[in-house]
Structures are given as C-alpha cells and as structure tokens.
Amino acid sequence: MKDKLYAIFLTTCCIICLFSIRARGQDTTRKSYSVFKPMPKSLEREEMETDRPNVTETPHTVDAGHFQYETDIVRHQRQSTDDSKQRRWLYNQANLKIGLLKNTSLHLMVQSFAKERNVELSEKTTQTSSGFGDLTIRLKQCLFGNYNGKFSMALMPYVKLPTNKFSDNKKYEEGLMVPMLLTLSKDWKLECNWKVTT
C-alpha cells in the first residue's frame, strides 16, 4: 500500500513539473518583485488568501515584499478514547507569512501558549501542563495559477521543531504538502490538499 502511495505521489509531482514548465511564461508583470522590492498596490491580488493549518491550505502565496499575519486567537481540541480524555487549548496559534518572490512565500507558525489536560479514566488521575508550543517552518512555492487561471497548485515542504513545553511529543516532523485549488465560479471554490509526512 505504501509503495502505491509513493508511486501516485511521484507521478503527481512529475505532472506538476510538466505543467509548471508550460505555465512559466504566462505572467511576467510581477516577476521583478521580491522581499527587497515590494509589489506595488496596483499589482496586488484583490482578495487576501489565508491558510488554515490542519483545516485547509491555499496554493496562493503572499504578494512579494508583503507580510501577512493570521491567527486562531483561541482554539479548543478534544480527543476521547475508552481509557482517556484529552483537552487542549491553544492561544494565539499564529501563522506569520512573508512574500519572498512572485510565487514564493516563507511561513513561521507559532503556538504562543497551550494548555493540555489529560484524564486517565481507569486510574482516575488528571494531569495538566501548559507552556510555549511548537514552531513550524514552511516554504510555499506556487507552481502555476498564483495570479490567474481557474486552477492553481503549490508545493509546500515543512519542518516542525519540537519546542513545546506542555507535551511529551519531542519529535521533529518533516513533510510535503501539495495544496490545489479549482475556481468553479465567483463564489465557489474546490480545494484539495495532499500531505506526506515522515
């Protein structure tokens, strides 16, 4: 099964590369802008595109030379099994994004503060911990459709640094996301995300 998934993933990457080579010459108006030479307001996209980590990701990048701050001010997560119940509150789970080039942006995701409560039902014990969370660094490269067209796709490699002070999970996590977006009409969009982690 794992071999089939890798084969599908590699085939998809090859298709992405072929489409991106074909689409390179389409939009040259924004090519000369970077983090050091910000894109002027007249060329910026009309609507802000946001990522919702672990919910949905957009293939679109932040305009070159611009900064975007997104956050979940408060996020509550619950998980229950036959043996335990876990509650987690995340405060200011921020996604700091900067446009490096026309189709490239750098993201730093910060879990500013988290509180976790674990209840072992069989032993009737409760454990509470809190503190700073993990840091995640992501680089988004839109292959095509960043500023025009009905279909867009990006590659987004990432690494999670286990900096948290509230959890026993001290593992590094690396992976690759492939967000895709198809605009169906003015008000309707279809988004799909592939994710491979180690």
Consecutive H or E run containing 26: none
Specify the amino acid at residue 192. C
- The pLDDT of residue 23 is 47
pLDDT digits (tens, 9 = 90+) for 73-110: 898 889 888 888 889 888 988 999 999 998 999 999 99
Please compute Rg for the chain using Cα positions: 20
What is the Cα–Cα distance from 57 to 49, expressed in whole angstroms? 9
How remote is the C-alpha of 160 from its chain's centroid? 11
Residue 20 has pLDDT above 70, yes or no: no
Which pLDDT band holds residue 6 (cuts at 50, 70, 90)? low
* Mean of the per-residue pLDDT values of the chain: 82
Nearest residue to 66 (alpha-carbon basis) of 48, 79, 87: 48
Which pLDDT band holds residue 138 (cuts at 50, 70, 90)? very high
- The pLDDT of residue 15 is 56
- pTM of the entire predicted model: 0.77
CB of 60 within 8 A of CB of 48? no
- The pLDDT of residue 65 is 92
Between 147 and 20, where is the model more confident?
147
Tokens of 10: 């590699």
